[in-house]
Structure 1
Protein backbone atom coordinates (compact mmCIF):
# COMPACT_ATOMS: atom_id res chain seq x y z
CA UNK A 1 0.00 0.00 0.00
CA UNK A 2 2.72 2.40 -0.99
CA UNK A 3 1.63 5.94 -1.74
CA UNK A 4 2.92 7.72 -4.81
CA UNK A 5 4.82 10.95 -4.19
CA UNK A 6 2.55 13.98 -4.36
CA UNK A 7 4.58 17.15 -5.01
CA UNK A 8 1.50 19.25 -4.23
CA UNK A 9 0.90 17.66 -0.84
CA UNK A 10 2.61 20.35 1.27
CA UNK A 11 0.62 23.15 -0.36
CA UNK A 12 -2.60 21.25 0.29
CA UNK A 13 -1.67 20.66 3.94
CA UNK A 14 -0.80 24.35 4.35
CA UNK A 15 -4.32 25.30 3.25
CA UNK A 16 -5.76 23.89 6.48
CA UNK A 17 -3.82 25.37 9.43
CA UNK A 18 -6.77 24.66 11.72
CA UNK A 19 -6.10 20.94 11.21
CA UNK A 20 -2.38 21.00 10.35
CA UNK A 21 -0.52 23.49 12.61
CA UNK A 22 2.39 24.96 10.65
CA UNK A 23 4.89 25.04 13.54
CA UNK A 24 3.71 22.51 16.15
CA UNK A 25 6.60 23.34 18.47
CA UNK A 26 4.91 26.69 19.13
CA UNK A 27 2.04 24.86 20.82
CA UNK A 28 4.15 22.90 23.28
CA UNK A 29 2.32 22.93 26.61
CA UNK A 30 -0.68 24.64 25.00
CA UNK A 31 -2.40 21.88 23.05
CA UNK A 32 -5.55 22.08 25.16
CA UNK A 33 -5.81 25.72 24.10
CA UNK A 34 -5.45 24.66 20.47
CA UNK A 35 -8.41 22.32 20.88
CA UNK A 36 -10.27 24.78 23.07
CA UNK A 37 -10.96 22.33 25.90
CA UNK A 38 -9.30 20.30 28.64
CA UNK A 39 -10.07 16.87 27.20
CA UNK A 40 -7.35 14.18 27.24
CA UNK A 41 -4.95 14.10 24.29
CA UNK A 42 -4.17 10.84 22.47
CA UNK A 43 -1.56 10.66 19.72
CA UNK A 44 -0.95 8.10 16.99
CA UNK A 45 2.68 7.83 15.92
CA UNK A 46 2.82 6.80 12.27
CA UNK A 47 -0.85 7.34 11.47
CA UNK A 48 -0.56 6.48 7.77
CA UNK A 49 -3.66 7.44 5.80
CA UNK A 50 -5.60 8.43 8.90
CA UNK A 51 -8.48 5.97 9.00
CA UNK A 52 -7.82 4.97 12.62
CA UNK A 53 -7.24 8.40 14.12
CA UNK A 54 -10.21 9.92 12.28
CA UNK A 55 -12.47 7.03 13.27
CA UNK A 56 -11.39 7.37 16.89
CA UNK A 57 -12.12 11.11 16.83
CA UNK A 58 -15.63 10.42 15.53
CA UNK A 59 -16.23 7.65 18.05
CA UNK A 60 -14.87 9.59 21.04
CA UNK A 61 -15.75 13.30 20.81
CA UNK A 62 -14.58 13.86 24.39
CA UNK A 63 -10.97 12.96 23.50
CA UNK A 64 -8.57 15.10 21.44
CA UNK A 65 -6.53 13.21 18.82
CA UNK A 66 -3.30 14.11 17.07
CA UNK A 67 -2.02 11.99 14.20
CA UNK A 68 1.69 12.09 13.42
CA UNK A 69 2.94 11.15 9.95
CA UNK A 70 6.28 12.18 8.47
CA UNK A 71 5.34 11.63 4.82
CA UNK A 72 3.37 14.58 3.47
CA UNK A 73 2.17 12.47 0.51
CA UNK A 74 0.56 10.06 2.99
CA UNK A 75 -0.61 12.73 5.44
CA UNK A 76 -2.56 14.56 2.74
CA UNK A 77 -4.74 11.45 2.31
CA UNK A 78 -5.44 11.54 6.05
CA UNK A 79 -6.27 15.24 5.79
CA UNK A 80 -9.06 14.52 3.31
CA UNK A 81 -10.54 11.95 5.72
CA UNK A 82 -10.46 14.49 8.55
CA UNK A 83 -12.12 17.15 6.41
CA UNK A 84 -14.84 14.74 5.31
CA UNK A 85 -15.47 13.57 8.89
CA UNK A 86 -15.77 17.21 9.98
CA UNK A 87 -14.72 16.61 13.58
CA UNK A 88 -13.04 19.37 15.60
CA UNK A 89 -11.13 17.01 17.91
CA UNK A 90 -8.42 15.82 15.52
CA UNK A 91 -5.18 17.43 14.30
CA UNK A 92 -2.38 16.28 12.03
CA UNK A 93 1.37 16.84 12.39
CA UNK A 94 3.91 16.11 9.66
CA UNK A 95 6.89 15.69 11.94
CA UNK A 96 9.45 13.04 12.81
CA UNK A 97 8.45 11.17 15.96
CA UNK A 98 11.96 11.75 17.31
CA UNK A 99 11.07 15.37 18.12
CA UNK A 100 8.00 14.56 20.25
CA UNK A 101 9.65 16.12 23.30
CA UNK A 102 9.97 19.40 21.37
CA UNK A 103 6.25 19.41 20.61
CA UNK A 104 4.71 18.21 23.89
CA UNK A 105 5.38 19.03 27.53
CA UNK A 106 5.92 16.13 29.97
CA UNK A 107 2.55 14.60 30.74
CA UNK A 108 0.73 16.57 28.04
CA UNK A 109 -0.14 13.41 26.09
CA UNK A 110 -2.46 10.92 27.78
CA UNK A 111 -2.01 7.92 25.47
CA UNK A 112 0.15 6.79 22.54
CA UNK A 113 -1.11 4.56 19.73
CA UNK A 114 1.24 2.56 17.52
CA UNK A 115 -0.55 0.83 14.65
CA UNK A 116 1.05 -1.38 12.00
CA UNK A 117 4.46 0.21 12.39
CA UNK A 118 7.24 -0.73 9.97
CA UNK A 119 8.62 -4.01 11.41
CA UNK A 120 12.23 -3.38 10.31
CA UNK A 121 12.85 -7.16 10.45
CA UNK A 122 16.63 -7.10 10.05
CA UNK A 123 18.53 -7.15 13.34
CA UNK A 124 20.73 -4.26 12.27
CA UNK A 125 17.62 -2.09 11.97
CA UNK A 126 16.34 -2.80 15.49
CA UNK A 127 16.88 0.80 16.58
CA UNK A 128 14.38 1.98 13.96
CA UNK A 129 11.48 -0.02 15.40
CA UNK A 130 8.97 2.23 17.16
CA UNK A 131 8.96 -0.13 20.14
CA UNK A 132 12.75 0.00 20.59
CA UNK A 133 13.99 1.32 23.96
CA UNK A 134 14.94 4.72 22.51
CA UNK A 135 11.35 5.32 21.46
CA UNK A 136 9.95 3.97 24.72
CA UNK A 137 12.12 6.55 26.49
CA UNK A 138 10.70 9.22 24.19
CA UNK A 139 7.04 8.33 24.72
CA UNK A 140 7.63 8.29 28.46
CA UNK A 141 8.77 11.92 28.37
CA UNK A 142 5.42 13.14 27.02
CA UNK A 143 3.09 10.75 28.88
CA UNK A 144 1.93 11.14 32.48
CA UNK A 145 2.97 8.77 35.23
CA UNK A 146 1.57 5.31 34.40
CA UNK A 147 0.80 6.42 30.82
CA UNK A 148 -0.17 3.80 28.27
CA UNK A 149 0.80 2.62 24.80
CA UNK A 150 -1.75 0.73 22.70
CA UNK A 151 -0.10 -1.31 19.95
CA UNK A 152 -1.48 -3.23 16.95
CA UNK A 153 0.28 -5.15 14.20
CA UNK A 154 -0.16 -8.03 11.80
CA UNK A 155 3.54 -8.89 12.08
CA UNK A 156 4.12 -11.68 14.59
CA UNK A 157 7.86 -11.10 14.72
CA UNK A 158 7.42 -7.43 15.56
CA UNK A 159 4.74 -8.26 18.13
CA UNK A 160 6.96 -10.80 19.89
CA UNK A 161 9.88 -8.37 19.82
CA UNK A 162 7.67 -5.57 21.18
CA UNK A 163 6.35 -7.68 24.05
CA UNK A 164 9.95 -8.48 24.95
CA UNK A 165 10.96 -4.82 24.65
CA UNK A 166 8.05 -3.67 26.82
CA UNK A 167 8.87 -6.34 29.40
CA UNK A 168 12.58 -5.47 29.45
CA UNK A 169 11.62 -1.85 30.02
CA UNK A 170 9.61 -2.87 33.07
CA UNK A 171 6.21 -2.02 31.62
CA UNK A 172 3.00 -3.65 32.75
CA UNK A 173 1.23 -5.76 30.11
CA UNK A 174 -2.42 -4.89 30.74
CA UNK A 175 -3.96 -6.56 27.70
CA UNK A 176 -2.64 -8.98 25.06
CA UNK A 177 -4.58 -10.47 22.15
CA UNK A 178 -3.09 -12.86 19.62
CA UNK A 179 -6.17 -12.64 17.39
CA UNK A 180 -7.95 -9.34 17.96
CA UNK A 181 -10.86 -9.91 15.60
CA UNK A 182 -11.77 -13.17 17.33
CA UNK A 183 -11.50 -11.65 20.80
CA UNK A 184 -14.14 -9.91 22.91
CA UNK A 185 -12.48 -6.52 22.52
CA UNK A 186 -15.07 -3.82 21.76
CA UNK A 187 -14.78 -0.51 19.95
CA UNK A 188 -11.95 -1.47 17.61
CA UNK A 189 -11.32 0.99 14.78
CA UNK A 190 -9.49 -0.63 11.89
CA UNK A 191 -6.64 0.94 9.96
CA UNK A 192 -6.31 0.54 6.19
CA UNK A 193 -3.61 -2.09 6.70
CA UNK A 194 -5.75 -3.90 9.24
CA UNK A 195 -8.62 -4.20 6.77
CA UNK A 196 -6.28 -5.52 4.10
CA UNK A 197 -4.56 -8.14 6.24
CA UNK A 198 -7.60 -9.31 8.18
CA UNK A 199 -9.46 -9.83 4.88
CA UNK A 200 -6.74 -12.33 4.01
CA UNK A 201 -7.38 -14.18 7.24
CA UNK A 202 -4.24 -12.99 9.01
CA UNK A 203 -4.54 -12.57 12.78
CA UNK A 204 -4.17 -9.07 14.21
CA UNK A 205 -2.06 -8.79 17.36
CA UNK A 206 -2.85 -6.13 19.95
CA UNK A 207 -1.60 -5.14 23.37
CA UNK A 208 -1.96 -2.37 25.95
CA UNK A 209 1.06 -1.60 28.09
CA UNK A 210 1.59 0.82 30.95
CA UNK A 211 4.70 2.56 32.24
CA UNK A 212 5.62 1.77 35.82
CA UNK A 213 7.46 4.17 38.13
Structure 2
Protein backbone atom coordinates (compact mmCIF):
# COMPACT_ATOMS: atom_id res chain seq x y z
CA UNK A 1 0.00 0.00 0.00
CA UNK A 2 3.02 2.30 -0.41
CA UNK A 3 2.66 4.63 -3.39
CA UNK A 4 6.07 6.07 -4.26
CA UNK A 5 6.98 8.95 -6.56
CA UNK A 6 10.09 10.76 -7.77
CA UNK A 7 8.95 14.13 -9.14
CA UNK A 8 11.32 16.54 -10.85
CA UNK A 9 9.21 19.65 -11.34
CA UNK A 10 6.92 21.63 -9.05
CA UNK A 11 3.78 20.89 -11.07
CA UNK A 12 4.45 17.14 -10.77
CA UNK A 13 4.77 17.47 -7.00
CA UNK A 14 1.57 19.52 -6.76
CA UNK A 15 -0.44 16.96 -8.74
CA UNK A 16 0.96 14.06 -6.69
CA UNK A 17 0.27 15.74 -3.33
CA UNK A 18 -3.29 16.61 -4.37
CA UNK A 19 -3.90 13.02 -5.46
CA UNK A 20 -2.43 11.70 -2.22
CA UNK A 21 -4.63 13.94 -0.08
CA UNK A 22 -7.72 12.88 -2.00
CA UNK A 23 -6.94 9.18 -1.61
CA UNK A 24 -5.68 9.22 1.98
CA UNK A 25 -7.86 11.94 3.57
CA UNK A 26 -10.99 12.32 1.46
CA UNK A 27 -11.45 8.72 0.32
CA UNK A 28 -9.85 7.13 3.40
CA UNK A 29 -7.97 4.58 1.28
CA UNK A 30 -5.50 2.32 3.05
CA UNK A 31 -2.42 3.74 1.28
CA UNK A 32 0.45 6.04 2.12
CA UNK A 33 2.56 8.17 -0.22
CA UNK A 34 6.36 8.18 -0.28
CA UNK A 35 7.69 11.16 -2.26
CA UNK A 36 11.39 11.76 -2.89
CA UNK A 37 12.52 15.32 -3.66
CA UNK A 38 16.01 16.83 -3.59
CA UNK A 39 17.49 20.14 -2.46
CA UNK A 40 18.68 21.20 -5.89
CA UNK A 41 17.89 24.68 -7.21
CA UNK A 42 16.75 24.98 -10.82
CA UNK A 43 14.10 26.59 -12.99
CA UNK A 44 10.77 24.82 -13.36
CA UNK A 45 8.95 24.83 -16.71
CA UNK A 46 5.26 25.42 -17.26
CA UNK A 47 3.07 22.38 -16.93
CA UNK A 48 2.21 20.69 -20.24
CA UNK A 49 -1.49 20.30 -20.94
CA UNK A 50 -3.57 17.24 -20.13
CA UNK A 51 -0.95 15.28 -18.18
CA UNK A 52 -2.45 15.14 -14.67
CA UNK A 53 -3.58 11.53 -14.97
CA UNK A 54 -0.32 10.43 -16.57
CA UNK A 55 1.71 12.01 -13.76
CA UNK A 56 -0.25 9.88 -11.29
CA UNK A 57 0.05 6.78 -13.47
CA UNK A 58 3.81 7.24 -13.39
CA UNK A 59 4.93 8.42 -16.84
CA UNK A 60 4.18 11.16 -19.35
CA UNK A 61 5.74 12.62 -22.48
CA UNK A 62 7.64 15.75 -21.49
CA UNK A 63 8.86 16.89 -24.90
CA UNK A 64 9.79 15.78 -28.38
CA UNK A 65 12.03 17.13 -31.11
CA UNK A 66 11.58 15.91 -34.65
CA UNK A 67 15.01 16.37 -36.15
CA UNK A 68 15.32 14.34 -39.34
CA UNK A 69 17.70 11.55 -38.47
CA UNK A 70 18.10 8.65 -36.04
CA UNK A 71 15.82 8.69 -33.01
CA UNK A 72 16.08 7.67 -29.36
CA UNK A 73 13.68 7.76 -26.44
CA UNK A 74 14.98 9.15 -23.16
CA UNK A 75 13.50 8.58 -19.70
CA UNK A 76 14.41 10.33 -16.48
CA UNK A 77 13.01 9.98 -12.98
CA UNK A 78 13.34 12.73 -10.40
CA UNK A 79 15.79 15.62 -10.64
CA UNK A 80 18.10 13.72 -12.99
CA UNK A 81 15.46 14.38 -15.65
CA UNK A 82 17.29 17.68 -16.13
CA UNK A 83 20.39 15.76 -17.25
CA UNK A 84 18.20 13.84 -19.67
CA UNK A 85 16.90 17.10 -21.11
CA UNK A 86 20.44 18.41 -21.58
CA UNK A 87 21.46 15.12 -23.20
CA UNK A 88 18.63 15.53 -25.70
CA UNK A 89 19.90 19.01 -26.59
CA UNK A 90 23.42 17.63 -27.15
CA UNK A 91 22.14 14.78 -29.32
CA UNK A 92 20.19 17.20 -31.49
CA UNK A 93 22.88 19.89 -31.72
CA UNK A 94 25.99 17.75 -32.14
CA UNK A 95 24.67 14.63 -33.86
CA UNK A 96 21.38 15.56 -35.53
CA UNK A 97 19.59 12.89 -33.50
CA UNK A 98 15.97 13.38 -32.52
CA UNK A 99 14.56 12.30 -29.19
CA UNK A 100 11.40 11.99 -27.17
CA UNK A 101 11.74 12.70 -23.46
CA UNK A 102 9.57 10.99 -20.86
CA UNK A 103 9.35 12.00 -17.22
CA UNK A 104 8.88 8.86 -15.14
CA UNK A 105 7.36 10.02 -11.89
CA UNK A 106 7.09 6.43 -10.64
CA UNK A 107 8.70 3.37 -12.19
CA UNK A 108 6.98 1.37 -9.46
CA UNK A 109 3.48 2.53 -10.40
CA UNK A 110 4.19 1.94 -14.10
CA UNK A 111 5.27 -1.62 -13.33
CA UNK A 112 2.26 -2.28 -11.10
CA UNK A 113 -0.08 -1.14 -13.84
CA UNK A 114 1.71 -3.25 -16.47
CA UNK A 115 1.56 -6.35 -14.26
CA UNK A 116 -2.13 -5.83 -13.54
CA UNK A 117 -2.96 -5.45 -17.24
CA UNK A 118 -0.77 -8.43 -18.15
CA UNK A 119 -2.59 -10.59 -15.60
CA UNK A 120 -6.05 -9.47 -16.72
CA UNK A 121 -5.27 -10.14 -20.39
CA UNK A 122 -3.89 -13.59 -19.53
CA UNK A 123 -7.00 -14.58 -17.57
CA UNK A 124 -9.50 -13.07 -20.00
CA UNK A 125 -8.43 -14.21 -23.50
CA UNK A 126 -12.04 -14.07 -24.73
CA UNK A 127 -12.24 -10.32 -24.15
CA UNK A 128 -10.65 -7.32 -25.82
CA UNK A 129 -7.17 -6.80 -24.42
CA UNK A 130 -6.60 -3.92 -22.06
CA UNK A 131 -3.70 -1.51 -22.52
CA UNK A 132 -1.26 -0.50 -19.83
CA UNK A 133 -0.02 3.05 -19.37
CA UNK A 134 3.19 1.94 -21.12
CA UNK A 135 1.17 0.73 -24.09
CA UNK A 136 -0.56 4.09 -24.27
CA UNK A 137 2.49 6.30 -23.75
CA UNK A 138 5.26 4.40 -25.59
CA UNK A 139 3.93 4.12 -29.13
CA UNK A 140 7.36 3.91 -30.77
CA UNK A 141 8.38 0.28 -30.31
CA UNK A 142 11.51 0.50 -32.48
CA UNK A 143 13.70 3.36 -31.21
CA UNK A 144 16.09 2.57 -28.33
CA UNK A 145 15.14 3.62 -24.81
CA UNK A 146 17.75 5.11 -22.47
CA UNK A 147 16.79 5.60 -18.82
CA UNK A 148 18.60 7.55 -16.11
CA UNK A 149 17.90 7.55 -12.38
CA UNK A 150 19.78 8.31 -9.18
CA UNK A 151 19.05 4.74 -8.07
CA UNK A 152 20.48 1.36 -9.05
CA UNK A 153 20.09 0.35 -12.69
CA UNK A 154 17.64 -2.39 -11.73
CA UNK A 155 15.16 0.25 -10.56
CA UNK A 156 14.36 1.37 -14.11
CA UNK A 157 14.88 -2.11 -15.53
CA UNK A 158 11.70 -3.28 -13.79
CA UNK A 159 9.68 -2.00 -16.77
CA UNK A 160 12.02 -3.29 -19.50
CA UNK A 161 10.27 -6.66 -19.77
CA UNK A 162 7.10 -4.93 -20.96
CA UNK A 163 8.82 -3.20 -23.90
CA UNK A 164 10.31 -4.70 -27.08
CA UNK A 165 12.74 -1.80 -27.54
CA UNK A 166 16.47 -1.92 -26.90
CA UNK A 167 16.60 -0.80 -23.26
CA UNK A 168 19.67 0.71 -21.56
CA UNK A 169 19.44 1.69 -17.90
CA UNK A 170 21.92 4.08 -16.29
CA UNK A 171 22.10 4.22 -12.51
CA UNK A 172 24.27 4.67 -9.46
CA UNK A 173 25.25 1.08 -8.69
CA UNK A 174 28.18 0.98 -6.28
CA UNK A 175 29.36 2.00 -2.86
CA UNK A 176 28.03 5.31 -1.54
CA UNK A 177 30.36 8.29 -1.87
CA UNK A 178 30.47 11.90 -0.72
CA UNK A 179 31.00 14.61 -3.34
CA UNK A 180 29.09 17.18 -5.39
CA UNK A 181 26.08 15.89 -7.30
CA UNK A 182 27.78 16.77 -10.58
CA UNK A 183 30.92 14.82 -9.69
CA UNK A 184 28.96 11.83 -8.43
CA UNK A 185 26.88 11.59 -11.59
CA UNK A 186 30.05 11.66 -13.64
CA UNK A 187 31.62 8.99 -11.42
CA UNK A 188 28.59 6.70 -11.64
CA UNK A 189 28.32 7.36 -15.41
CA UNK A 190 24.80 8.70 -15.32
CA UNK A 191 25.26 12.39 -16.30
CA UNK A 192 24.24 14.04 -19.58
CA UNK A 193 27.38 12.94 -21.42
CA UNK A 194 27.03 9.31 -20.43
CA UNK A 195 23.37 9.44 -21.48
CA UNK A 196 24.56 10.70 -24.87
CA UNK A 197 27.14 7.89 -25.09
CA UNK A 198 24.50 5.28 -24.21
CA UNK A 199 22.19 6.65 -26.90
CA UNK A 200 24.93 6.63 -29.53
CA UNK A 201 25.90 3.08 -28.55
CA UNK A 202 22.31 1.88 -29.01
CA UNK A 203 22.07 3.58 -32.41
CA UNK A 204 25.41 2.14 -33.54
CA UNK A 205 24.15 -1.34 -32.67
CA UNK A 206 21.16 -0.69 -34.92
CA UNK A 207 23.55 0.45 -37.68
CA UNK A 208 21.87 3.85 -37.74
CA UNK A 209 25.16 5.63 -37.06
CA UNK A 210 28.77 4.63 -37.61
CA UNK A 211 30.78 3.35 -34.65
CA UNK A 212 33.27 6.14 -35.36
CA UNK A 213 30.63 8.65 -34.19
CA UNK A 214 30.54 6.93 -30.81
CA UNK A 215 34.34 6.89 -30.57
CA UNK A 216 34.54 10.58 -31.43
CA UNK A 217 31.93 11.40 -28.77
CA UNK A 218 33.89 9.49 -26.11
CA UNK A 219 36.91 11.66 -26.92
CA UNK A 220 34.95 14.89 -27.26
CA UNK A 221 33.27 14.61 -23.87
CA UNK A 222 36.43 13.26 -22.19
CA UNK A 223 34.80 10.02 -21.10
CA UNK A 224 37.34 7.94 -19.18
CA UNK A 225 36.76 4.49 -20.66
CA UNK A 226 39.53 2.64 -18.85
CA UNK A 227 38.57 3.45 -15.27
CA UNK A 228 37.26 0.73 -12.90
CA UNK A 229 33.56 -0.09 -13.02
CA UNK A 230 31.96 2.14 -10.33
CA UNK A 231 29.61 -0.70 -9.39
CA UNK A 232 32.62 -2.71 -8.21
CA UNK A 233 34.37 0.04 -6.25
Give the TM-score taking structure 1 as reference length.
0.38
Question: Which structure features the higher share of helix residues?
Answer: 2
Give the TM-score taking structure 2 as reference length.
0.36
* Larger RCO (CA under 8 A, 6+ residues apart): 1
